[in-house]
Amino acid sequence: MDRVILFLGAPGSGKGTQSSWLAGQLGISNLSTGEMLRTEAKRNTVAGRKLRQVLASGALVADSLVCEAVEARLKRELPERGIILDGFPRTLKQAQCLDQILAGLRLPGPLVLHLDVSRERLMGRLTARRQCAVCGTIYNLLSRPSRSGDVCENDGGRLVQRDDDTEAVIQRRMTEFDLACAPLVEYYSEADYHRIDGELETAAVSAAILAIAGPGRKRAAA
């Protein structure tokens, strides 16, 4: 697999869990733009403070800022063995920008995996979501609790709720996703696009993903 693989899906659809799992399976890196922006937002600078406000509101960060950061990362890593993008593109502009970056790097168009989950299921998942403050592993109080109780089973890190996983902010993030989703699906409809039932058990979703993106898959023409 020597391609960019992208996960499309609403907040809580399992993008983070499945993309880091797939990255491990394929031995390639996983770039979560949400994680990247949360790290930037911790900086005690004007830009960091501004970013914190945007993230806390559930709005999307400006296309130009996210595109520049993704472009820099792709150029630096030149993903000869492929790379997974989790949470990018989020808008049509970003999808067009990604195509330009890939064309510039002479890489084929992306493999698009869309995790489809109903709104009711998403709300339940997000309010119960917890994340290790040290390694970022994602748990869910209902469907995937930590075997070590209220700390991370990998490193004993504290399990925290993301600042933007409160109900009001979740609503805003869902609305942002709904607005952007249909145009993106339309944009990728002629491409290597796969809709996956994200309501299945985690292992069944992983199996469906591996069947599409696994190592046996043929290389697509550039």
Residue 123 or 220: the one with the smaller Cβ distance to ligand AMP is 123
Least separation in angstroms between CB 103 and ligand AMP:
19
DSSP-based three-state secondary structure for 13: coil
Residue 173 a catalytic site member? yes
Binding mask 4-33 for ligand AMP (x = CB under 6 A): -------x---------------------x
Q: What angle do CA 39, 27, 131 make, to 5 degrees?
A: 35
CB 213 within 8 A of CB 22: yes
Give the integer Cα–Cα distance in Å for 7 and 196: 10
Least separation in angstroms between CB 80 and ligand AMP:
23
By the rule CB under 6 A, 37 interacts with ligand AMP? yes
Q: Which of 3, 90, 125, 130 binds ligand AMP (CB under 6 A)?
A: 90
For residue 129, the cross-strand partners are 140
Give the integer Cα–Cα distance in Å for 52 and 41: 5
Q: Are strands 138-140 and 192-197 parallel, antiparallel or unpaired?
A: unpaired
Most distant pair of Cα atoms in the chain: their distance:
47
Q: Which of 6, 23, 66, 97 binds ligand AMP (CB under 6 A)?
A: 66
Least separation in angstroms between CB 74 and ligand AMP:
13
Residue 98 or 196: the one with the smaller Cβ distance to ligand AMP is 98
Give the contacts of 84 (CB within 8 A, at least 6 positions apart). Answer: 4, 5, 6, 7, 19, 22, 23, 26, 28, 29, 30, 31
Residue 94 or 140: the one with the smaller Cβ distance to ligand AMP is 94
Give the integer Cα–Cα distance in Å for 103 and 135: 34
Nearest residue to ligand AMP, by Cβ distance, number only: 34
By the rule CB under 6 A, 60 interacts with ligand AMP? yes
Least separation in angstroms between CB 91 and ligand AMP:
7
- Residues near ligand AMP (CB under 6 A) are 11, 33-34, 37, 54-55, 58-61, 66, 87-88, 90, 94, 164, 173
Which residues participate in catalysis according to the annotation?
A: 15, 90, 129, 162, 173
